[in-house]
Amino acid sequence: MYYLMIKRHNKTGLKYLCQTRRKNPYLYLGSGKHWRSHLDHHGCDISTEIIGTYETMEELKNAGVYYSNLYEVVKSEKWANLKPEEGDGGDTSLTAGYIEGMKKRRSYIGDGNPNYGKVGTWAGKVGPQLNKIWYNNGTKELLTSICPSGWVEGRLKLTCQHCAKQMNMINYKRWHGDNCKSKEA
């Protein structure tokens, strides 16, 4: 059994033409992108009006197209449908609503973005986590927000005994010490 119904948001009045095969169609919220976004923003206070029950998908599709055209669900601002109800969910990527939304998103590139050129709260911070600083005690290093007693701020620098270059611990372990090219055989 297929149910064709109109969902109506009780606070905003926005409507949505949809279908379901669920035993209790009143529990079905609808699946359209614009409709679901509206429900997320305004809550799920909706009412359901069943406008038809159908035995086959073909009957449902014919009725869905008829009511979609009758109510102009895609064109009207009173409806959340991005495409006519045909019982298949469908690809909404080629609808006018989708194309218009993509045009709006393009305006946020570069200086069209309201945050373009602004410095974030993370600017000037160091380390993989904000508000944490590297400290070392000459042999070990630590990333923390509190300086341990006897430690100094900054990354640990090691000097290679073979080439006398100074570098951080990661590069020292990989390229110097026992792996140094200057090491005599």
* CA gyration radius, the chain: 31
Question: At 55, which CATH number?
Answer: 3.40.1440
Q: Which domain holds residue 66?
A: 2-90
59 domain residue, yes or no: yes
What's the whole-model pTM score? 0.49
Q: Give the pLDDT confidence score for residue 170 in this predicted structure.
A: 83
Query: Is residue 97 assigned to a domain?
Result: no
Task: Tell me what pLDDT residue 98 has.
Answer: 67
Q: What is the pLDDT of residue 145?
A: 83
Quote the pLDDT of residue 53: 93
* Residue labelled with tokens 């119904």: 5
Tell which of 73, 90, 107 closes a domain. Answer: 90
Phi, psi of 168 (to 5 degrees): -75, 170
Q: For the chain (length 185 residues), average pLDDT per consecutive 10? A: 93 93 89 88 91 92 92 90 80 63 67 73 60 84 87 88 88 88 81
Residue 109, in any domain of the structure: no
Cross-sheet strand order for the sheet of 152-153: 141-144, 133-136, 152-153
> Do 99 and 82 touch, CB atoms closer than 8 A?
no
Residue at 34 is within a domain: yes
Our count of domains for the chain comes to 2
Q: Give pLDDT, residue 48.
A: 93
Give the pLDDT score at 16. 94
Please say whether the beta carbons of 151 and 136 come within 8 A.
yes
DSSP 3-state of 173: helix
One domain, residues 85 and 140: no
Is 105 part of a structural domain of the chain? Answer: no
| Gap between the Cα atoms of 158 and 169, Å rounded | 6
